[in-house]
Structure 1
Amino acid sequence: MVFNFKVFKKSSPNGKITMYLGKRDYVDHISGVEPIDGVILIDNDYKDRKVFGQVVCSFRYGRAEDEVMGLNFQKDLFLVSEQLYPVEKANTSKMQERLIRKLGPNAFPFTFIIPPSAPASVTLQPGMEDEGQPCGVNYFVKIFTGENDTDRSHARSTVAMTVRKIQYAPSKQGRQPCTVVRKDFMLSPGELELEVTLDKQLYHHGEKIAINICIRNNSNKIVKKIKAMVQQGVDVVLFQNGQYRTAVASLETQEGCPIQPGSSLQKVVYLVPLLSSNKDRRGIALDGQLKNADTNLASTTLLASPDQKDAFGIIISYAVKVKLYLGALGGELSAELPFVLMHPKPGKTNKLIHADSQVDTEMFRQDTVDPDNELD
């Protein structure tokens, strides 16, 4: 039996250098990141030149149309910069071996190791009137010719392909989130108690969040309204005041209200944070995008320790907030519970690459219009 496997191909404008990657999503396992392994195919005309490769983390923190008077709201961090040709061939993966066998003697493998502290791919949703590249963190692999890795590359002999650094949800649930808050009132006896519990700590994108609310009114105030919301927290580490929160799902209800003094109420409300409900909201954090395909709300950022925040990073967090409204004189009482929102780790559906594996090369062609060619 002959197996086919997918690779992504992109050629430089002059067609002299072609890059092949086995995938474009690289998983951060907290302790380390999957290596970026690929193959470059060099034309005979370029066999006497040096070829270099880089992994670039590009952090855009301002709109391109606001870049005036020499201002630049983009920083590029070169995580890896190495000479790829001519060098001695290193250890190769099964995918690289099959590609080299298929492409011939002008194909050379490369492997890049991303540091574990590098930030995750995140895009901040632009406004309807915004143009150009959206703010956020994205990665690309760049291959070019030159005398050294700091040489200014020429567009005609440079090839770059966007990749993503992503995280998947842990396999185990954490402790069930629960909190109790109380409020007493000046010149009034008793207190108002609010208990909020989530059914679990870890949710997958699109999953319904069950919020259990228990209110015990031992005060002489009246609870008139309840509001529950899911808040997305965005921390742009580069700026000291770069933290903000946005409600990505909310529900307001007066069911069971008013809650009179001496009464109690227990109810469960459900919220589902989805991008489809926040399509027109500027600044919402999304998972990094490839091409212009639809994505989803950004996943929670998992850190080995709070000190590992990279200056180029955007840290994402989520919390459920429940507020009780007591009227103009009574004020409010609120409780918050953090939780984790991520994609589950995909099942191992990829077949092992056997010695007789093949890459379908019918679509292998140089194309300077469509930047990314997928090959199945």
Structure 2
Amino acid sequence: MSPKHVIFKKLSRDKSVGVYMAKRDFVDHCDSIDPVDGVVLIDPVQVKGKKVFVMLSCTFRYGRDDMDVMGVAFRRDIFLTTRQVYPELQDKERSIHTKMQEKLLRKLGDNAIPFFFEFPDNLPCSVCLQPAPSDVGKRCAVEFEVKAFCAENQDEKIEKRSSVRLAIRKIQYAPEDSKTIPSSEITCEFLMSDKPLHMQVSLEKETHYHGEPIKVSVYINNSSSRSLKDITVAVEQVTNVVLYSNDKYVRAVALEETSDTVPPGTTLKNVYTLIPLLAANKERRGIALDGKLKHEDTCLASSSIVKEEVLKEVQGMLVSYKVVVRLNASGMVGSSEVAVEVPFRLMHPKPEPAKEGESDDMVFEEFKRVYLKGVIPDDDESPTEA
């Protein structure tokens, strides 16, 4: 039996327009980006002679909506494009429909109209900062949204009851991993010590997947007269807000505090295993997430991969990861901290290509009810709703 296709749909409150899409995650493959495509279903009686438009937007939001720009809040449209789909205009650039669009057009009838957008190659991926439980208002985030609406023209104020807005995500999968073994080392000389301390830290590979154990190999040769103790191994997430502010969030998303010691004149060779997971950081403010569609689970943000020709400031927020090994070197003249950092990437693995069946059978799901236990009122118009 051929598999059924899950199609997500959402209708405006007055039922004048509805949007149908086969997916909500769109992948940036670095050399190409999945186009955003779907179908708009209109009710000519409810449209009442108005035009129907579809909009694709990428917005950077930093701070709550109730704070002014001179305080903390800031909102900027990084990308915005609108197309009229009804009455239909001749689109010479895009006359070929995807297979899913063709099936939807057959299924929905004459009042269904396809739409198609291509992302420019300089847009960031979806990312948001996790608020604290006490925080209110919109989250700090780079968000993508598809909106369909009825209006006399695209510049007039949009009526909520005649519009529908859907949150989508732009994501990246891990590229082919290089053969380079990430490592870093440090040699420290201390006062009143003839010989140095040498520490080397290495990882198995440069790219790790979400949920995958990270094995950290630590080698310490303590030729100094200092006693080494309080060794900690951490995975740190670093989020740089590069648009509007220069805020920087550094959070340890996985941590192991050991009782290992390295007396003078001895060595230590050990492998520590850490697994950075959102589940262990649910209540912590400032943790970067891989974007979030309302009522869906997400994970820690993936590492940002920015093309060389793209301005970093346009990316809104950049996320990176590093393993940090710290230890305390104590002696007769006090103590000091020694640290070694090893950068790496944390991303999703590239999935196997889906095998599309020949069946036209489709399962239609309401956007607002997917992954949700219960019912949301029809007037819920949150821009982050999906």
Structure 2-normalised TM-score?
Answer: 0.88
Question: Is 1:9 aligned to residue 9 of structure 2?
Answer: yes
1:85 is matched with: 86
Mapped to 2, the partners of 1:2 and 1:322 lie a distance apart of 52
Q: How does 1:165-180 map to 2 (within 5 A)?
A: 165-180=170-185
Aligned match of 2:52: 51
1:330 aligns with 2:335: yes
Aligned equivalent of 2:256: 251
Task: Give SS of 2:314's match.
Answer: coil
Distance 1:364 1:169 in 2: 28
Partner of 1:119: 124
Does the Cα contact within 8 Å between 1:80 and 1:114 map onto a contact in 2? Answer: no
Unmatched runs of 5 consecutive residues or more in structure 1: none
Contact 1:42 1:107 in 2 (8 A): yes
Q: Output the CA distance in 2 between the equivalents of 1:117 and 1:197.
A: 33
1:82 positional shift: 1.7
Pick closer, same or farther for the CA change 1:249–1:363 going to 2, 3 Å.
closer
User: How far apart are residue 47 of structure 1 and its match?
Assistant: 6.9
Select the residue among 357, 360, 378 that pairs with 1:368.
378
Q: Where does residue 74 of structure 2 map in the other structure?
A: 73
Q: Which residue of 2 aligns with 1:106?
A: 111
The 1-side partners of 2:150 and 2:275 are apart by 49
CA distance in 2, matches of 1:299, 1:128: 23
- Once the 2 structures are TM-superposed, how far is the Cα of residue 306 of structure 1 from its aligned partner? 7.4
Could you say which residue in structure 2 is the equivalent of 1:230? 235
Q: Secondary structure at the match of 1:223?
A: strand
Q: CA deviation at 1:248?
A: 0.9
Equivalent in the alignment of 1:159:
164
CA distance, structure 2, for counterparts of residue 230 and residue 33 of structure 1: 30
Residues of 1 paired with 2:247 and 2:381: CA distance? Answer: 34
Report the Cα distance in structure 1 between the residues aligned to 2:304 and 2:365, rounded to whole angstroms: 40
Partner of 2:221 in structure 1? 216
Change (3 A) 1:363 1:139: closer
Equivalents in 1 of 2:84, 2:286: separation in Å? 38
Give distance in 2, aligned partners of 1:243 and 1:25: 27
The count of residues paired between Structure 1 and Structure 2 equals 368
Partner of 2:284: 281
| Alpha-carbon distance change, 239 to 215 in structure 1, aligned in 2, over 3 angstroms | farther
Asked whether the equivalents of residues 8 and 365 of structure 2 are also in contact (C-alpha less than 8 Å), the reply is no
Question: For residues 154 and 78 of structure 1, what CA distance do their matches in structure 2 show?
Answer: 22
Preserved CA contact (<8 Å) 2:6 2:365: no
When the two chains are superposed, the root-mean-square deviation of aligned CA atoms in Å is 2.6
Following TM superposition, by how much is the alpha carbon of 1:188 offset from its aligned partner in structure 2, in angstroms?
A: 2.8
Asked whether the 8 Å contact 1:117–1:309 carries over to 2, the reply is no
- Distance in 2, Cα, partners of 1:56 & 1:22: 19
1:38–1:96 Cα contact (<8 Å) kept:
yes
- Cα separation, 2, equivalents of 1:77 and 1:158: 22
| Selected match of 1:261 from 256, 259, 264 | 264
Match in the other structure for 1:30: 30
% identity of equivalent residues: 41
Which residue of structure 2 lines up, in the alignment, with residue 192 of structure 1? 197
Q: Distance in 1 between matches of 2:86 and 2:166?
A: 19
Distance, in Å, in 1 between the alignment partners of 2:129 and 2:366 is 34
- Contact 2:143–2:291 (8 Å) recurs in 1: yes
CA contact (8 A) 1:11 1:368 kept: no
1: CA distance, partners of 2:200 / 2:255? 18
Per-residue deviation, residues 89-145 of structure 1 (Å, max 9, x unmatched): 632111111111111111111101111211111121111111222211111101112
Matching residue of 1:42:
42
Superposition deviation, residue 230 in structure 1: 0.6
Shift of 1:176: 0.9
> 1:57, 1:203 → 2: CA distance?
28
More displaced 10-residue stretch of structure 1: 240-249 or 151-160: 240-249
TM-score (norm 1): 0.90
Distance 1:71 1:324 in 2: 37
